[in-house]
Amino acid sequence: MPKIISIHSFRPGTGKSQLTANIATILAAAGQRVAIIDSDVSSPSIQAIFGVADSAITHSLNDFLWGKCGIEATAVELNSSIRHALKGQLYLVPFATRNSTIDYDILLLSDSFELLINTLGLDVLLIDTQPGVQFAALPSIAFSDIQLLVLQLREQDLQGTGVVIDISEQLGIDEMVLVVNQIPEHYNLREVQQKIEQIYQRPVLAALPYAELLAEYQPATDANAHIFVVDHPDHPISLLLTNVAATLTA
């Protein structure tokens, strides 16, 4: 069964886009057919991480929802921008073109996800959502099979994540899982994982350390993807993300 997974967080900057891009690449490298919906319209991070130029983005999901194009026109192929051959297939689907407004009939959104999955033959649809509980993020989350919540060890995140979980429960999300990211060096990762699981009573798929190497990953300015797991396949974060990807798609 194909899976729709939204990657979300209460606060901006927790690492959603980095984790989404890397998990997608891991899955596609293992032979799966994967698409990422980039919901960030003001600075499309997924597009930047994979080194896709604005000129390559001709149509968006928003255009499809307005009947302006077919669903296949919204998908940008990403395999050729990655320097490792992927066994599977990877696509980017921009929610809207840069700086345009997302405005659509919510009832059509769920159908558009299904059509995307069927037309591209997807195994996994990952949605890099907008942070917070603002209206822009909620429809995508509501139509997901799994919500992956990314948080850091900050007071604001700890409280906000509780709020997000409450709202997602009301939206009827069956499966909510967590990843704790950017954990400062002196913490015991296993203890953090157990503590956060206790607080929210949800599985914590990984407790990821803060890594200078990953912090340095800037959006690509050339036409190539800059993907951490491709460049550092044996780094602890890459190994932990491989587990996360496997659990999400099990």
Ligand X SMILES: Nc1ncnc2c1ncn2[C@@H]1O[C@H](COP(=O)(O)OP(=O)(O)OP(=O)(O)O)[C@@H](O)[C@H]1O
Binding site for Mg ion (CB under 5 A): 16-17, 45
From the list Mg ion, ligand X, none, pick the one residue 79 interacts with, judged by a Cβ distance below 5 to 8 Å according to partner type: none
What is the DSSP annotation of 158-207?
HHHHHHHHHHHHHHT-SEEEEEEEEE-TTS-HHHHHHHHHHHH-S-EEEE
How far is 116 from 121, CA to CA, in rounded Å? 8
Determine which residue in the list 109, 203, 217, 240 makes contact with ligand X, applying CB under 6 A: 217
Q: Using CB under 6 A as the criterion, what x/- string covers residues 132-151 for binding ligand X? A: --------------------
Q: Which is nearer to Mg ion, 8 or 16 (CB)?
A: 16
Q: Please, are residues 78 and 225 in contact by the beta-carbon 8 Å criterion?
A: yes
Q: C-beta of 51: minimal distance to Mg ion in Å?
A: 16
- Binding segment (CB under 6 A) for ligand X, from list 15-23, 27-35, 60-68, 109-117: 15-23
Site residues (CB under 6 A) for ligand X, limited to 182-201: 182
From the list ligand X, Mg ion, none, pick the one residue 26 interacts with, judged by a Cβ distance below 5 to 8 Å according to partner type: none
Report CA 103 to chain centroid distance, whole Å: 21
Q: C-beta of 188: minimal distance to ligand X in Å?
A: 16
Q: List C-alpha distances in Å: 76 to 7, 38, 83.
A: 20, 11, 17
Rg of the chain (C-alpha set): 17
From the list Mg ion, ligand X, none, pick the one residue 51 interacts with, judged by a Cβ distance below 5 to 8 Å according to partner type: none
Q: Does 131 bind ligand X (CB under 6 A)?
A: yes
Q: Which is nearer to ligand X, 38 or 123 (CB)?
A: 38
Residue among 160, 181, 194 nearest 236 (CA): 181
Q: Which is nearer to ligand X, 202 or 235 (CB)?
A: 235
Triad 204, 205, 211: Cα angle to 5°: 100
How far is 209 from 189, CA to CA, in rounded Å? 7
- Binding segment (CB under 6 A) for ligand X, from list 11-19, 71-79, 97-105, 141-149: 11-19
Q: Which two tokens stand for residue 174?
A: 């069956």
Q: Does 210 bind ligand X (CB under 6 A)?
A: yes
Q: List C-alpha distances in Å: 227 to 127, 185, 214, 219, 238.
A: 18, 23, 10, 10, 10
Q: Does 211 bind ligand X (CB under 6 A)?
A: yes
Q: C-beta of 87: minimal distance to ligand X in Å?
A: 25
Q: C-beta of 157: minimal distance to ligand X in Å?
A: 11
Q: Tell me how crowded residue 219 is: count the other CB atoms within 10 A of its CB.
A: 15
Site residues (CB under 6 A) for ligand X, limited to 36-65: 40, 45
In sequence order, what are the residues at sequence separation of 6 or more whose Cβ sits closer than 8 angstroms to the Cβ of residue 184?
A: 153, 210
Judged by the rule CB under 6 A, the positions of this chain that interact with ligand X are 9, 12-18, 40, 45, 131, 181-182, 208, 210-211, 214-215, 217
